[in-house]
Structure 1
């Protein structure tokens, strides 16, 4: 609404109403079989998912429609191959078929299409024939058999489709000519065989063309007489020598000599001499910590012939020794060739780190403010009090009282262990009486007991109903049930706490007689109100006869006072025996005012 002033004192008002039109959002779900296509927003879709399109509505606000595409039961396609022989038939979807091709059957009785496809293959039977010729004395393999005679040979084969095929061979044997000779050589000589030099023993053939179309064959049988070549291998340790063919040799190498044999072919003997490298050992020695047997020696052996045996002078064997005391250890190494070498290893003794300790006990019982400090001039030390985590800082703080095993580790890994005790201070204790119950208006002393000595600071909460807030024995006068908490602090700042629950029974102890006898005998002569100390005052006390006349009235007085009671007279005259009604307003120490009513019998 717009208000405008178009002249002094004249106003015009224009009102604009704005309508907010809602946007429309719709959705649906479409189910198709896997592999099928559905048109969504004029597009062919096959994949599952959400497809969204925005349209302009007639009210000018866009609307959005979402279509969720899901797949139901999959389309099932089965394929199989069936083979038959020519002239046979096969059952295909309830019909006997004999022509090759693809047959299909579609089942649409379910929610998705079931497509069965069968490809029928028709295989031919085969009958083949060939003619073959060989020369006399030759052989040929026909159908797995070696044959050399003229004739007709055949074999029937089963195909993979079960259709048999037959192959026939007509064999003709033609006459041929065969000649031979023998040539003998030594193993280290060469022979010319049909123009080719060779020293390989065996039968060699050369074929020549004959007039009858069958070749003639000449065979050379080459015999190669052995030349004896023997050899041996000798292995020496470093620094040793051996006699070979009359000479002392100590260098690795091959040594040969030839000898005349009985078959006129010389023989040769070769000696392979191997001189092993010297045996050497790399020693890795860890010193032993002071007073301990934790030194170690580990070895790496080189040279000689691998397959080493290591024997130590302490009776142990192997590549390493552990848990060793300081001292000298002798090692003998024997290789696979029984070559030996001796070595010495010295295990040194580490000296324990020189340290001193400083301790600070916790201030109070259960506090975690104790500390242990290590003092030393030795560098690169690590410290631990749990045996697991080592630190470079020689100070451990925020510790509870107790026994600690301080471990000091030097650069060699040696550990010195020291027992340290942080004393537990005496526990500061304060004790209050057991919980108790009092009547409203009563008071009670709360006696605290502590093992603290001097300079104890007391603090009570809540303190409003106590006689003091910082004393050891306050007087409590609670008007309601209260839990009092006492906290004490000694000169070291150690604290102790205890509490006491005082339950206040509000039984409103007011006692008003139901009869009195004002006969001056000293017994029940006055009708007055008795009460406990929980009553502060009687604000009003009135007595009425049965016609409603007030025969007595008292205000603002303490209870238990006969001077504020009725003596049975009215206007200076004694009343006769009768039943009277009283009304009293009683104020209690907790501020509650209670009205009490009842009857009283005057007895004469």
Structure 2
């Protein structure tokens, strides 16, 4: 039902191999549901009849009826009609043969055959070439046909024209050097080989162009070089001192590059190290020298490879071990016992022991004594009065003290200073107008430790301390201090000279108009004039040059007084150098001025090329020729003074006498004698004495410069001991004069 085959139409397994029909349409069916030995277990299945159209009689031999094609009836009563029923009596009734089509005419190019094919559904194929295969390869032009027959014996014929075309092939060769690049058909090429590209022709075939790329080799050579650190080697016309590969390129006969590589190896110096440890203050013998300063010491040797080998010794100086204790603060004016000593002052005290590292270990103790707790006050009293100080009466000036316990347990001292009141008074007299009052105005100024002060004169108190009018003569003023002390101070009024002004600044060399005066005790309404017309009341007069100035003084009441100001000139410094002196060649001499050093002066020496300092008070001079030195001194006012002196340099002696020789017969400095040029004619006498004054050698009339004529360090055929020996020579110069030469020479062994 529903298009399912009846069970009696399915052949059994025993009958299946006997079927002569094509079973391929049933392969799918069979693969889905294989034939079963017991068909009774199968109820129904769905089958696509298109897969069964090749089956001529699916029910044979068991079916009673078969289906007849194109009668629109279900002849076998299986529910299927005509071509829908696979049980057709004529299998080809409903068969649609495949179409034969070789396609359009084709063009064949040289070397490229044309492939013709027909559908595999045709059961028989016959080509005009006699071939019977489904696929035919043609490489010649002509007309070709094929006749095909299908399984229902339907015959079809098709024809095809094959046209022969010509292909063009060209070749070219390109050569490059190894490592170079060439563009072939638009692509960069570096490898050798054949590269092709096709181009279409009008004939429809391709033109193939082949380029053969040949790569010429670029030879490379290399070598190894070795040098020591610090050395260099010439590589490719350059000196090299660093390890590395150095490459240079040359051109071969083929025009390609030839590369030569030099691999340079710089051998590192062989360095050995050693650490040494010493205590501070000790020393260690390192490479023949005793060293006590920490640091690195090295010595170089030649290694087996011919390079330097360095041995480095690191010297470590152990710092002394220091421990420290701090004691509590001690009271002032006490003492403690420390390291067996009595200590009464603040400080750091130490004792030295031997530490665990074998070096000195220092133990320090910090001792601090408290500052005395002192309170102070001052009492001022009049002369002859008594003052109560700490419960006692005192009249003598001085310090009086008492001790009290302080909060820290130490003593606290209070000091009271008893001072007598002191007072100093100065008097300045200014005249009143002579025509109105012949008296003077006396200005009283007090200083001391009892101020403020009040002044009375002639029974009258003057609040402004200006007494007037006071006639010329001797007078007494009463001065009373703030403490009630009274002083009777005599003063005299007379015609003064410079009594109303004081010089505060004199003109200097830097500022010739720098003179300045200050009016003493300037009174209100009082003015002065240098020309008698223009008056000023400024207390300071500036811009004064050296000279004499007439001045008119005018008071508020119109009284005038004429005086003269004398402004002194600037003060010039004084400098004096020593007398000229003579020195030997190469000798230095100290120049100290004869005048005392003044911090207010600046010093400048010329020329300074032979001096150790050009702006010092005293200098060290070492001229190599006669030189005149000048010292210029300048004071704060810019005033200068100078002095000169000559230092003459003696001409060098025309001979040389060594101060040491070593008669060890090594050919160097084995003899002691005098050496000279043509200025010396001969050595008239040469005598040598030991430290006790005994003559150990003497010779006469020998030429200079002949060592073997001199002393060989022996006395009575015995080599003298090492030490200093005195010598005496009489030398005849070229001009016939005799010069005495003496000194000492050291004999070394």
Name the TM-score, length of structure 2 as normaliser.
0.20
The structure with more radius of gyration: 2
Task: Report 1 or 2 for greater relative contact order, CA contacts < 8 Å, sequence distance ≥ 6.
Answer: 1
Greater share of strand = 1
